[in-house]
Structure 1
């Protein structure tokens, strides 16, 4: 049975323990932890931060659905307001790429500490001067290191595909998983990303059967080839009955995590209304 979780990346105006407690107030069974500033940017995330988080999780009884390590905005003093994936695991600069590998390992450490089954990782965009073929080589080299580390800690790594990234659709992520050939590598399916790319979301889920480490849920206006802007379910055009039926069909029994970082000024409303809209499907 699928349960609902909510990502703390909607609560960036609150510290991480307060975000966890607020999410619990809205009925969710799980919480996704933002592995980035201002919640768990790992170079600054110390023992006191970890202990305060563990206290909040114990107080609320929430399970952790995933560690979201897609971005590392805290790395830059002037990071843009939109999602930014640098330094990525496909960066040509060896030191920058290694920094991101080590950062992902810290996300895996947090997953082990809080009992999260997985972390998610975006590939990033090939930068000028790095052809996609070379970027793919960098990705596989980075994953070999990351997956060895994850497997020793019983944590899965889910690649989150997104339009315009190196891995941007279901075909590409499944080909990567098959090529790497390790059970610890899967896909974190973001339903909005599949829709914006032009895929049938339910079919993407069915094709990913057996490889799904987690699900990100949001609504999209326009659905197929719509604008990539995360909206509260019910405010867009996605067919959530079909999405949850597909999850049932493939036997997925993890969390569907609401990712509504687009509502930083009203995260409680977003959490409340999203839960009310989706609880009937669970």
Structure 2
């Protein structure tokens, strides 16, 4: 058995225009001071991390790794959540997601998608140069506008949507396979891959591709009212990345899982800082230890109440408390005797 690594922190929610949040050096110093050991770095901020340069230059990657090592840090994973989203955009969401891409490719789905695919392939090469084995992303969504069966579901529509999703992602999965890196889809409402059933459907269409894996985030499962502990029992072999993010669902007589188009503060289901919500993290860390998960536990801070600086400070200690140093022997070994057959 192997002990989970951590704590790590996902930088997306903290990158900003002011120091220390406007440079990798500043973010690294800030995170290290809070006790983090790894950074999950998004690929959509070239001034923080230039994925195109990283894909081509081992020198650049070595320099990044060295600068982080000076702070006692490593990279847990790179992230292409926004680029992955652009791999599959239903026309209903074209305008909403257009700003995820540079101005030169906006308004043209095919050109925008080609740009996103190239960024993903660059991330695969960059990950390999950095010695990483997992990568975090979204699947994108073609079928999501039809998630609720009204009008009644048209099965051919879903067959077409998932087959097209698989066709778009198969070359990306192959590119990551060439680099020895796992693609970890964060199962997230709004994505076509948002629960176990949709992941299985996609997995079958990519022929159980060895690089098609899961970023486990229990907060999205609680808000869907799923059994997030049983999920680990079922899918542990495919869980290669882990976001530590809390959530709560407060039953209401006015709204439910869908949120009523309200801001997060007023929703029945909402994200919280670790320890402030309802998720059984002791159960999660125990199950992941049982199944020999040896990846990173990475804080993704999203909370509708608590300040981010406080959430980041508390999150590091929270993860450290929950990581289980696994034993290399059974507790009752002392009583074992030889065979007396």
Q: Normalised by the size of structure 1, how large is the TM-score?
A: 0.82
For the 8 Å contact 1:150–1:156, the answer to whether it is kept is yes
The 5 A counterparts of 1:230-249 are: 230-249=271-290
The 5 A counterparts of 1:1-282 are: 1-3=3-5, 4-13=7-16, 14=21, 15-37=23-45, 39-40=48-49, 42=51, 53-72=64-83, 93-126=109-142, 131-180=157-206, 181-222=208-249, 225=257, 229-260=270-301, 267-282=308-323
**Offset at residue 137 of structure 1 (A):** 2.3
Q: Distance in 2 between matches of 1:281 and 1:222?
A: 22
- Taking a change above 3 Å as real, the CA distance of residues 233 and 247 of structure 1, as seen in their structure-2 partners, is same
**Offset at residue 237 of structure 1 (A):** 1.2
Rg bigger for which structure?
2
Count of residue correspondences: 272
Range with bigger deviation, 3-12 or 64-73 = 64-73
Q: Distance in 2 between matches of 1:214 and 1:85?
A: 27
- Taking a change above 3 Å as real, the CA distance of residues 132 and 6 of structure 1, as seen in their structure-2 partners, is same
> Matched residue of 1:39: which SS?
coil
Q: Deviations over 1:214-236 (max 9, x none)?
A: 01111112289575644211121
Q: Normalised by the size of structure 2, how large is the TM-score?
A: 0.69
For the 8 Å contact 1:193–1:228, the answer to whether it is kept is no
Structure 2 residue runs of 5 or longer lacking an equivalent are 87-95, 102-106, 147-156, 252-256, 258-266, 324-341
Q: Distance in 2 between matches of 1:69 and 1:281?
A: 27
Instruction: Report the RMSD for the aligned CA atoms in angstroms.
Output: 3.5
